[in-house]
Amino acid sequence: MGHDHCGLTLHPDKTKIVYCRDESRRGTHPVYKFDFLGYTFRPRLVSKKAGGMGVSFGPAASPTALKAIRGTIRSWSLHLRSDKALDDLARMFNSYIRGWINYYGRFCPSALQPTLWSIERYLARWASGKYKSLRRHKRRSRHWLLRIAQRQPRLFAHWPLLHGYGRTMGAG
């Protein structure tokens, strides 16, 4: 093989032949998905150009990458930063959020949405700690945050994806 003369060896657990199952390849194989560069490649439901749904082999953010992102979000301790204003939080964390959206949101952005909603939950928790009128009122703090998102749709990088406000056509 070509890699032997360089002194490279294949790792038996990491090197596998993967069956890329999709609509035209319907066979079965024990290995049908793989992870690479933070993405999981596997058969996924997609909408066809001609209409309807079909199965295609494609990437989306991997569960391990999403778990790492949620760990990073948790490490921010947003709910404990009641001394900061919402604008300050946006300035502090938007670069991270924008990077995740640009990298993992390129393919199958819906896989990233539950993780982005966790940021919303932490922000609502922050609001209930910051403002006395929102304490012990989860729904009220979520609605307060939604009103801010309607007024300033681009304050946080993930708001256009989650709420649909401030979206521009063809941006990507």
pLDDT, one tens digit per residue, over 106-157 is 988 889 999 999 999 999 999 999 999 999 989 999 999 999 999 999 999 9
Asked which of 27, 42, 60 is the last residue of a domain, the reply is 60
Domain containing 67: what range? 63-163
Domain count, the chain: 2
Q: What is the mean pLDDT of residues 2-12?
A: 75
Is 39 in the same domain as 68? no
> Does a structural domain hold residue 170?
no
Round the average pLDDT of the chain to a whole number and report it.
86
- Low-confidence winner among 4-18, 54-68, 69-83, 102-116 (lowest mean pLDDT): 4-18
Residue 172: inside a domain: no
Provide the residue count of the chain: 172
Tokens found for residue 70: 């949620």
Find all residues with CB under 8 Å of 14, minimum gap 6, and list them. Answer: none
Mean pLDDT of 10-29: 74
Output helix, strand, coil percentages for the chain, rounded to the nearest 5.
Answer: 45, 10, 40
pLDDT at 167 over 60: no
Task: Give yes or no: residues 50 and 96 share one domain.
Answer: no
Q: Token digits for 111?
A: 């896989």
The predicted model scores a pTM of 0.81
CB 160 within 8 A of CB 167: yes
Name the token pair of 61.
């953010």
What is the three-class DSSP state of 47?
strand
Kindly state the tokens that stand for 7: 């002194």
pLDDT of residue 141: 94
80 with 125, same domain?
yes
Give me the pLDDT at residue 171, please. Answer: 45
Last residue of a domain, one of 18, 34, 60: 60
**What pLDDT score does 170 carry?**
43
Asked whether residue 146 is assigned to any structural domain, the reply reads yes
Nearest alpha-carbon partner for 163 in 103, 113, 127 = 113
Give the per-residue pLDDT at 6.
80
